[in-house]
Amino acid sequence: MVKIKICGLKRFEDIEIVNRYKPDFIGFVFADSKRKVSHDLAGKLRSNLRNGIVPVGVFVDASQDEIIKLFEEGVIDMAQLHGNESEEYIIELKEKTGNELKIVNAIEMSENVNLDDYSDTNADFLLFDSGKGCGKTFDWSLIRKNLKKDFFLAGGLNISNISQAIEEFEPYAVDLSSGLETDGFKDEKKIREIMEVIN
């Protein structure tokens, strides 16, 4: 069964909602964004998160030290990389955390992307997106079948297209943020509807 990640949590109310509906992953954004949270707030939110929900940190060209600190403090269990992080960066990050930190390598999909270039990455997962939190879908025909790596599908997913995305591409996980919001805040009704569709 496909897994679900709800990204961009920034309020204690958000944590209460996900604790009720139990997605597989949640995301804290540490990069510049309207959903950005401080390390301190993320730690407090994490301490209220239900066991079994995996916290993911979202970064853009962050220092390895920042990511490792958040991992060692138990704020995140996974790092989602949206910048220009090299394969060497990923390898070093894995080594410095004893290969315990899981890494999601995000790819901004376009006609210029060759997915074969990522087939041997040391990242644990790939993530296909239209851009950094832009909330728009990309051309799904760019996704190739039979990829070596499990992938997260992101970018403009919502109640109207989630079933098609899952049926057509069988992603490891779907990643939603703006599609679960109303007026910039997570909407419990939208989260409930998505969880019902996926489960």
| Total tally of structural domains belonging to the chain | 1
8-state DSSP, 65: H
DSSP 101-147: SEEEEEEE--TT--GGGGTT-SSSEEEEESSSS------GGGPPSS-
pTM, 2 dp: 0.94
CATH of the domain at 86: 3.20.20.70
Q: What is the pLDDT of residue 132?
A: 55
Q: Distance of alpha carbon 73 from its chain centroid, rounded? A: 20
pLDDT given at position 66 = 98
* Full residue range of the structural domain in which residue 139 is found: 3-198
Three-state secondary structure call for residue 27: strand
Task: Give the per-residue pLDDT at 104.
Answer: 98
Provide the pLDDT for residue 133. 53
Question: Between vectors from CA 59 to CA 91 and to CA 98, what angle results, nearest 5°?
Answer: 30
DSSP 36: B
Query: What residues contact 30, with CB distance under 8 A and at least 6 apart?
Result: 36, 37, 39, 42, 57, 58, 59, 62, 66, 70
Give the integer Cα–Cα distance in Å for 43 and 28. 10
Task: Identify the pLDDT of residue 168.
Answer: 87
Using 50 as the pLDDT threshold, list the residues of the chain that sit under it.
Answer: none
